[in-house]
A and B are shown apart, each in its own frame.
Chain A
Amino acid sequence: MAITSIKNLKEFSTNNDRFEGAHTLCPGCAHSMIVRELMNCTDDNLVIASNTGCLEVSTAVYPFTSWDTSWIHIGFENAATAVTAAQVMHKVRKKKGNLKDNDAPVKFVAFGGDGSTFDIGFQWLSGAMERQHDFTYICLDNENYANTGGQRSSATPVGATTSTSVAGTHSYGKKEKKKDIVAIMAAHGSPYVAQLAPNKWKSMAKGFQKALETEGPCFINTVSPCCTEWKFDPKDTVGLADLATDSLMFPIYEIVNGHELNILYRPKNPIPVEEYMAAQGRYKHLFKPEYRHIIDQVQADVDKTWEMLQRREEARI
Chain B
Amino acid sequence: MSVESQDLNLCANDKRGKHQLGAGAGLVGWDEVTQGIVLTSFDGDASDIAHKKAEERNYSEFNSYTASVASWRVQKPVFNRDICIDCQNCWVWCPDTSIISRDKQMLGIDYDHCKGCEVCVEVCPTNPKSLLMFNEHADLDESLAAWPEKKKKEKK
Encoded as 1 (CB less than 8 Å from any A CB) or 0, chain B from 64 to 86 comes to: 11111100100000000000001
Contact for B92 among A61, A69, A201, CB less than 8 A: A201
Q: Are B104 and A32 in contact (CB under 8 A)?
A: no
A48-98 interface with B by 8 A CB criterion? 59-69
Closest chain B CB from A233 CB (angstroms): 8
Q: Are B92 and A12 in contact (CB under 8 A)?
A: yes
A10-42 interface with B by 8 A CB criterion? 10-25, 27-33, 36-37, 42
A11-B104, A234-B119 are known contacts. Are A64 and B67 too (CB-CB below 8 A)? yes
Closest chain B CB from A107 CB (angstroms): 11
Alpha-carbon separation in the docked complex, A163 to B81 (Å): 45
A101 within 8 A of B: yes
Contact for A62 among B37, B47, B69, B72, CB less than 8 A: B37
Stretch at the interface among A172-180, A209-217, A236-244: A236-244
Q: Are A13 and B117 in contact (CB under 8 A)?
A: no
Alpha-carbon separation in the docked complex, A234 to B93 (Å): 12
A317 within 8 A of B: no
A292 within 8 A of B: no
Q: Are B64 and A235 in contact (CB under 8 A)?
A: no
Q: Are B67 and A22 in contact (CB under 8 A)?
A: yes
Closest chain B CB from A14 CB (angstroms): 6
Chain A contact residues, majority secondary structure? loop
Contact for B121 among A25, A29, A31, A235, CB less than 8 A: A235
For A29, list chain B residues within 8 Å (CB).
95
For A33, list chain B residues within 8 Å (CB).
92-95
Alpha-carbon separation in the docked complex, A64 to B110 (Å): 18
Closest chain A CB from B25 CB (angstroms): 11
Q: Are B39 and A28 in contact (CB under 8 A)?
A: no
For B116, list chain A residues within 8 Å (CB).
27
Alpha-carbon separation in the docked complex, A13 to B106 (Å): 9
Contact for B21 among A18, A61, A234, CB less than 8 A: A61
For A12, list chain B residues within 8 Å (CB).
88, 92
For A18, list chain B residues within 8 Å (CB).
49-50
Q: Are A65 and B39 in contact (CB under 8 A)?
A: yes
Q: Are B104 and A62 in contact (CB under 8 A)?
A: no
A45, A63, A237: residue with the most chain B Cβ atoms closer than 10 Å: A63
For B134, list chain A residues within 8 Å (CB).
none
A113 within 8 A of B: no
Q: Are A68 and B63 in contact (CB under 8 A)?
A: yes
Alpha-carbon separation in the docked complex, A20 to B62 (Å): 11
Return the chain A residue nearest B86 by Cβ: A10
Return the chain B residue nearest A59 by Cβ: B64
Return the chain A residue nearest B121 by Cβ: A235
Closest chain B CB from A230 CB (angstroms): 15
A33-B95, A235-B117, A235-B121 are known contacts. Are A22 and B68 too (CB-CB below 8 A)? yes
Encoded as 1 (CB less than 8 Å from any A CB) or 0, chain B from 29 to 69 comes to: 00001000101011000010111111001000111111111
Closest chain A CB from B130 CB (angstroms): 15
A65-B62, A234-B117 are known contacts. Are A32 and B96 too (CB-CB below 8 A)? yes
User: Can you name 10 A-B residue pairings with CB atoms under 8 Å?
Assistant: A9-B87, A12-B92, A14-B104, A18-B49, A25-B95, A201-B92, A234-B119, A236-B122, A237-B117, A238-B123
**Contacts from B to A (Cβ < 8 Å):** 17, 19, 21, 24, 27, 33, 37, 39, 41-42, 47, 49-54, 57, 61-69, 72, 86-89, 91-98, 101, 103-104, 110, 112-119, 121-123
Other A-B pairs beyond A21-B96, A28-B117, A63-B62, 13, CB < 8 Å: A12-B88, A13-B92, A13-B101, A14-B103, A16-B53, A21-B112, A23-B96, A24-B21, A27-B95, A44-B50, A69-B49, A235-B119, A239-B122
